[in-house]
Amino acid sequence: MQTRRDMLSHSAKLAAMLAAVGMLPTLASAQAAGYNAAAFDAKTIPDLMKALGGGAPVESKDVTVTGPDIAENGAVVPIGAATALPGVKRMLLLVEKNPSVLTAIFDVTDAVDSNFATRVKMGQSSDVYAVAMMNDGKVLFAKKEIKVTLGGCGG
């Protein structure tokens, strides 16, 4: 069992190392171990897939994304990702026009349904993606446009 102090000094060292090779943008404070910072920095969906090691995503009707058609307040937009397919490794929630596309990664185990709902911030009207990364390497997605009346970023 690592103590928190160990972990912090460890990740600080790691961050320094990464910064030295220029892989990490400046603001890497106390990154949690195992946190995929590169994925969360990705600005486009192809970049994101590269960071996560996934193939090109394919649209699928077996994946669903839920959310409102119009969100009045971009700071709180309820969205969900679900699929009934077996063999899901992780589910992602993406907002295409946010400064970083990736919002959340859910690592699925056998003990949970691949059905997650949360609330996200959206800077402007955009397509929202639910992506299912399968154990066999396939990447399936569903998308939905959500119009935002008042943006939730910046200000």
> Which residues contribute to the site for other proteins (CB under 8 A)?
4, 8, 27, 29-32, 34-36, 39-40, 75-78, 80, 95, 98-100, 102-113, 115-122, 152-155
Of 120 and 142, the one with the shorter C-beta distance to other proteins is: 120
What is the smallest separation between the CB atom of 126 and other proteins, expressed in angstroms? 11
What is the smallest separation between the CB atom of 21 and other proteins, expressed in angstroms? 21
Of 22 and 154, the one with the shorter C-beta distance to other proteins is: 154
Of 53 and 58, the one with the shorter C-beta distance to other proteins is: 53
Of 58 and 62, the one with the shorter C-beta distance to other proteins is: 62
Whether 78 and 117 have beta carbons less than 8 Å apart is answered as: yes
Does the CA dihedral 30-117-112-104 come out positive or negative?
negative
- 96 conformational bin, left if phi > 0, alpha if psi -120 to 50, beta if neither: alpha
Phi, psi torsion values for 49, nearest 5 degrees? -65, -35
Distance CA 147, CA 112 (A): 31
